[in-house]
Structures are given as structure tokens and as C-alpha cells.
Amino acid sequence: MKRPTYLLTVVALAMSFVAMSPERSGLAASQSTEVCIETSEKEIASLFDRWNSSLQTGDPHKVVANYTAKSVLLPTLSNKPRLTPEDKEDYFHHFLEGEPFGRIDWRRIEIDCNTAVDIGLYTFTFRKTGSQLKARYTFTYKWYGKQWLITSHHSSAMPEKE
């Protein structure tokens, strides 16, 4: 290989590595500019209490205020995924008719940078009828500048009777 061609090849390769580096691609910049909010398992656990307290108001709008606008709700007592705030309000309107109160039976919380997951088992007692429903749940949360909001919530009745 002639010297000028060899030199051009080396320079071209070096420039391609610089172009592919995280600093040039913006990956490192986005990672280094994100500020992770400090939280604890206790704080994340309290988010269920906030949600459960909103159930006690009987107001579907107050329950839905715990969710982001683009969140997904896969509810316990409906086969329909609830994707919009209106869909969620419709579900909670019917769910709240039974006057539910939730209790955590078991949980595991995982925390990451500005996100958290609360996974476990809960029991709903419906005050109107006295009936109970045991279910599995997953709440995923994201920090939105001033508060934690639900980005997804999955709940399904336990498949086996105890």
C-alpha cells in the first residue's frame, strides 16, 4: 500500500471510531445529564397507599390522576386493556361501585434511575358485598419532575383457590 493511501485509510478509520463513540452519538450526554431522584422502598411502597386512598374517595378521576396519560392498565375485572385516561375512568367507575379496599399481602420492590417496580400479591375487600378478591399485581412507576406516576399497572385474579 502506498504511504498516502495508507495514511488516508488510518485517518478515515480513526474518524469513524470518533463518530461512533458514545460522546459523539449523544448517548453519553443523555446518560450523564439525567439526574436520578433519590428514593427508597418505603417511598415506593407508599405509592400503593396513595393509590388505595384515591380508591376510597369513590372518584374515578382521582384514581386516574395516579397514572401517566400514556400508561397501560390491565385491570383485574376486565378483559379490555385500558390505554386512555377515559378508558381507565370507565373501568374505575365500575370497580369503585363495590367500594374496594386493597391490602398488600406480599411484595418486592425494585428501584432504578427514576423508575421503580412494585410487584406482589394483594387482596381487595369489597365493602358493599363483603366479598374478597386475591390478585397478583405489578405497578411500574416513573418520576415526572414532581411526583411518581404509574406507567403500567397489571392486576390479575389468583388462578387457584387456597
At 146, the pLDDT band (50, 70, 90 cuts) reads very high
49-91: pLDDT as tens digits? 999 999 999 999 999 999 999 999 999 999 999 999 999 999 9
pLDDT at position 20 over 90: no
* 98-110 burial code (b ≥16 CB/10 A, e <16): bebebeeeebebe
Higher-confidence position of 15 and 52: 52
Note whether 99 and 105 are within 8 A (CB).
no
Average pLDDT of the chain is 87
CB-CB neighbours of 145 under 10 Å: 7
**E strand or H helix that includes residue 48:** helix 41-56
CATH number for the domain running over 41-157: 3.10.450.50
Least confident of 55-59, 119-123, 157-161: 157-161
pLDDT at position 12 over 50: no
Query: CA–CA separation, 34 vs 160, rounded Å?
Result: 43
Percent of the chain with pLDDT over 70: 80
Mean pLDDT within 88-96 = 98
